[in-house]
């Protein structure tokens, strides 16, 4: 059943040449962007209203479907995985086309880096369209590294190494005194060059990319900065095993998919830097995983968004849950079964079989059926591609 859904979902993400709407693209309306010019709360109101509306208002406000760099990177990642699974050269060709597009659409800075295809306002900072983020850049650079591993073409490795320069030279850093003497201080990389926020998932995605590139080229500076970033997040773990999203007062919440990001990055860093025998690292990682599994998912596969409440039911949580459980399958004998339950619940409750896409969110009162490309559907395509390899 998963493979049938995967095929239809593949048709959906490709039907408009990888273009689609995004939950946060409200300011792509020229009228709304002009109306909210330099007004933080109006920007947020527009973005959230467009995101939460049960009716898709984008055509009314002139918001067109467009390519999202992060979605493109995830699709390249998924296509390369599908190529490994099937040896179908069509997947390899699609991945190459996307990687070429990403090279041509880098935001610049000290190395290859990518932002969003829309202006974005959060409670903490404003990010204009195209300004690169470490989250986008890390996911995309990992797709280039997958391409390098498969094809052994150095140009792909060069792109990923260049993205490390964006992390090391363009991102701001927050420092904490570390108890580990050889580290001296722990660091947290900012989300973008324009802010100084501390978000643990963003910090560890940066560290994970540095670690993976280090395994190939053995630059000690990459490993050193990775270790400092990891230590910052480990020091910030709560006693129950959780992590708040960030350090700012408005970011002191615990949610599902960002916790999943943190766990997967820590797992990968442990593998890349061969820290499996580091008892402190492993203990904190597994404590976090135990918290994640017990807190965010019910036995039937229903995902919870926050640690303290279910709604909104969001397919991004499901997709990241599948990815996270599959990553920890060697530590948890029931992990694959959990991943399958998550996928099954999503198909039974949030899948439109006729139109071939997953719905965005379910609230207490209605299901938001807007066909967003990146948020639920590209993530579910990637997650189900992983799961199909285990089926």
Domain ranges of the chain: 106-296
Does position 271 have pLDDT exceeding 60, yes or no? yes
Rounded mean pLDDT, 94-99: 98
In angstroms, the CA 174 to CA 170 distance is 13
Whether the pLDDT of residue 118 is over 70: the answer is yes
Closest Cα to residue 387, out of 98, 146, 90, 82?
A: 82
Residue 180 has pLDDT above 70, yes or no: no
In this prediction, residue 332 carries a pLDDT of 96
For residues 154-161, average pLDDT: 98
The answer to whether residue 182 scores a pLDDT higher than 90 is no
Instruction: Give me the pLDDT at residue 186, please.
Output: 93
Closest to 375 (Cα-Cα) out of 20, 31, 7: 20
Whether the pLDDT of residue 374 is over 80: the answer is yes
The percentage of the chain sitting over the pLDDT mark of 70, rounded to a whole number, equals 98
* CA 212 from centroid of its chain's CA atoms: 17
Averaged over 365-382, what is the pLDDT?
97
pLDDT > 60? residue 181: no
Q: Does the pLDDT value for residue 283 go beyond 60? A: yes
**Beta strands of 169-319 (E only): which ranges?**
173-177, 185-189, 313-314
pLDDT tens-digit series, residues 29-70: 999 999 999 899 999 999 999 999 999 999 999 999 999 999
Q: How many CB atoms lie within 10 A of CB 105?
A: 15
Mean per-residue pLDDT for 207-217?
A: 98
DSSP string, 5-50: HHHHHHHHHHTTTT-BB-TT-GGGSHHHHHHTTT-HHHHHHHHHHH
Mean pLDDT score across all residues of the chain: 95
Closest-CA residue to 203 (of 173, 179, 160): 173
CATH number for the segment(s) 106-296: 1.50.10.20
Write out pLDDT tens, residues 312-361.
Answer: 999 999 999 999 999 999 999 999 999 999 999 999 999 999 999 999 99
What is the pLDDT, as a whole number, of residue 1? 65
CA distances, 285 to each of 33, 230, 296, 355, 358 (Å): 42, 11, 16, 39, 31
d(C-alpha 373, C-alpha 18), whole Å: 8
| CA distances, 387 to each of 97, 215, 264, 333 (Å) | 25, 26, 16, 15
The pLDDT value recorded for residue 286 is 97
Joined tokens for residue 114:
């990518």
**What tokens does 276 get?**
């499996």
Average confidence (pLDDT) over 295-320: 96
Q: What pLDDT is recorded for position 3?
A: 84
Q: How many residues does the chain have?
A: 391
Band (pLDDT 50/70/90 cuts) for residue 387 is very high
What pLDDT shows up at residue 233?
Answer: 96
- pLDDT of 183 strictly over 80: no
User: What tokens appear for 136 in the block?
Assistant: 């986008």
Would you place residue 248 in the very low, low, confident or very high pLDDT band (cuts 50, 70, 90)? confident
Range name among 70-74, 168-172, 177-181, 376-380 with the lowest pLDDT average: 177-181
Calculated CA dihedral for residues 221, 222, 226, 229, nearest 10 degrees: 60
> 173 phi and psi, to 5 degrees?
-130, 140
């Amino acid at each position: 059943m998963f493979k049938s859904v995967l095929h239809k979902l593949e048709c959906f993400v490709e039907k408009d040449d990888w273009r689609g709407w995004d939950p946060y693209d409200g300011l792509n309306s020229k009228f709304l962007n002009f109306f909210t010019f330099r007004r933080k709360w109006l920007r947020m109101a527009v973005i959230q209203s467009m995101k939460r509306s049960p009716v898709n208002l984008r055509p009314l406000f002139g918001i067109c479907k467009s390519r999202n760099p992060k979605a493109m990177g995830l699709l390249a990642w998924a296509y390369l995985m599908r190529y490994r699974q099937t040896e179908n050269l069509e997947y390899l060709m699609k991945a190459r086309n996307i990687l070429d597009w990403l090279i041509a659409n880098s935001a610049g800075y000290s190395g290859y880096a990518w932002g969003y295809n829309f202006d974005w306002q959060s409670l903490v900072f404003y990010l204009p369209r195209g300004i690169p983020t470490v989250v986008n850049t890390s996911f995309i650079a990992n797709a280039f590294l997958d391409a390098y591993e498969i094809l052994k073409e150095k140009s792909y490795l060069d792109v990923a190494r260049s993205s490390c320069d964006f992390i090391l030279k363009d991102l701001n850093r927050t420092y904490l005194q570390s108890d580990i003497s050889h580290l001296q201080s722990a660091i947290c990389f900012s989300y973008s060059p324009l802010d100084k926020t501390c978000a643990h998932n963003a910090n560890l995605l940066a560290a994970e990319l540095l670690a993976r590139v280090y395994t190939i080229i053995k630059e000690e500076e990459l490993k050193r900065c990775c270790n400092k970033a990891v230590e910052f997040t480990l020091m910030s773990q709560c006693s129950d095993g959780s992590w708040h999203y960030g350090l700012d007062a408005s970011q002191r919440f615990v949610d599902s998919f960002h916790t999943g990001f943190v766990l997967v990055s820590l797992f990968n860093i442990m593998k890349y830097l061969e820290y499996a025998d580091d008892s402190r690292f492993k203990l904190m990682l597994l404590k976090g995983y135990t918290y994640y599994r017990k807190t965010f998912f019910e036995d039937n596969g229903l995902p919870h968004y926050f640690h303290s409440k279910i709604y909104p039911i969001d397919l991004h949580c499901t997709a990241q849950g599948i990815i996270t459980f599959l990553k920890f399958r060697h530590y948890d004998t029931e992990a694959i079964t959990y991943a399958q339950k998550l996928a099954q619940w999503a198909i039974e409750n949030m899948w439109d079989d006729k139109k071939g896409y997953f719905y965005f969110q379910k609230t207490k009162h209605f299901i938001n059926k807007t066909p967003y490309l990146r948020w639920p559907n590209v993530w579910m395509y990637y997650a189900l591609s992983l799961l199909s390899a285990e089926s």
